[in-house]
């Protein structure tokens, strides 16, 4: 097939090509992934003494959950949470890992959640966005 080389892609109005923001998001994604991994390893280390009757460890890593996007102050950052499986009994005493850094259903950071009502109350209602953003 013949490929035409005279096609110029136009920048979409809702996308911004900012290399600095891309670098910040990449760095934030790496730091967040490292922090989540360290948190999961610390949880597993604290539960290392729990064993199954046959001597195997009761809690094991079980991969990662699906990648999802979290809204942050620098824009959306894609992250995935660590999954830890309890190989013990299927009862009420089942141990579950819940990340303090990345809750299971979080879609926005807490600072962004706190900012949205302030922006609405002070910015939209009064028209003074400068005061709301400071």
**Into how many domains does the chain fold?**
1
Across 26-50, average pLDDT = 91
Residue 37 lies in a domain: yes
Residue 61 lies in a domain: yes
pLDDT at 52 over 70: yes
Residue 129 lies in a domain: no
Query: In the block, which residue shows the tokens 């995935």?
Result: 80
64-123 pLDDT, tens digit per residue, is: 988 888 887 777 888 888 899 988 877 768 888 888 888 776 666 666 656 566 566 666
Residue 88 lies in a domain: yes
Residue 83 lies in a domain: yes
**CB 44 within 8 Å of CB 59:** yes
Task: Give the per-residue pLDDT at 66.
Answer: 87
Residue 23 lies in a domain: yes
Q: Which residue range(s) make up the domain with 86?
A: 19-108
Q: What is the mean pLDDT of the chain?
A: 78
| DSSP assignment string, 12-73 | PTT----HHHHHHHHHHHHHHHHHHHHHHHHHHHHTTT-B-TTS-BSEEEEEE---EEEEET
Task: Give the per-residue pLDDT at 73.
Answer: 74
Query: In the block, which residue shows the tokens 């499986």?
Result: 85
Residue 13 lies in a domain: no
Residue 77 lies in a domain: yes
């Amino acid at each position: 097939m013949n490929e035409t080389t005279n096609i110029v892609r136009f920048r979409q109005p809702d996308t911004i090509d900012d290399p600095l923001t891309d670098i910040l998001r990449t760095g934030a994604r790496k730091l967040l992934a490292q922090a989540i991994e360290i948190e999961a390893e610390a949880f597993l280390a604290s539960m290392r003494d729990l064993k199954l009757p046959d001597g195997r460890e009761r809690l094991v890593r079980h991969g990662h959950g699906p990648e999802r996007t979290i809204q942050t102050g620098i824009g959306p950052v894609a992250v995935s949470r660590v999954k830890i499986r309890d190989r013990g009994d299927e009862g009420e005493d089942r141990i579950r890992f819940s990340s303090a850094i990345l809750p299971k259903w979080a879609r926005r950071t807490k600072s962004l959640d706190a900012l949205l009502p302030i922006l609405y109350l002070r910015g939209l209602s009064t028209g003074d966005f400068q005061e709301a953003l400071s």
